[in-house]
Homo-oligomer: A and B are copies of this chain.
Amino acid sequence: MTATHTDGRIARGNQTRQLILKRAVEIASVDGLEGLSLGQLATELKLSKSGVFALFGSKEDLQLATVRAAIKVYLEHVVQPARDLPPGLDHLWRLCSGWLDYSRKRIFPGGCFFYSVSAEYDAREGKVHDTLAATRTNWVTFLEQTVRDAQLAGEVDPAADVPQLVFELTALMEMANAESVLHHEFTSYDKAAKAILSRLRGVATDPALLPDAP
């Protein structure tokens, strides 16, 4: 048959893969993708090292699968919650504050997964780097599109420099994550939110579209 009643073996394999990846993204957000170790994962999850290996094919493939698993978590916690909002300034602001929440709540124990592993692989070559670079491009492009939609909705100054704005917004978000994780402190999220709101007010056609300053 073409699509049979789900192969039990493959289903079991996928389940084990998910179990491994759940732990892998946690480890990688703290120790990096290089810090992942097949033996450590196998021991923690009471599997055999060769079993873990066989499920992914190589360490690099495990790393790539870990990145894909983290993307799923990221989409779920950052992108999805704002998915149904109408285009406009509020949509953009919700994405930014949602990102700050995602980092603050330590969905990944080491803070934002992509901040950690992108810094780890930014100056290296290979598939992992390329995947992370493409992932970042996707996120930036998505934010830029959100801004353009807000422009079309008449809530953002059509003369605003979109890539410049998104550059500044992402800078503020990632700095909040970096300072918070490094110093075990959470006021940096307030600083980032304040700066983001201020910057958004600068391009808003109507300041009442944004929440009040604290």
Contact = CB atoms under 8 A, between A and B. Distances in A.
Contacts of A133: 182-183
B195 A136 contact: no
A112 to B, nearest CB: 10
A151 interface: no
A122 B103 CA distance: 14
Interface string A143-178: 000000000000000000001100110111011001
B175 A170 contact: yes
A53 interface: no
A109 to B, nearest CB: 7
Contact of A181 (B110, B122, B195): B122
7 contacts: A30-B124, A32-B34, A34-B34, A122-B182, A133-B183, A170-B175, A174-B174
Shortest Cβ-Cβ A-B pairs, 6 listed: A119-B119, A171-B175, A110-B123, A122-B182, A171-B171, A122-B181
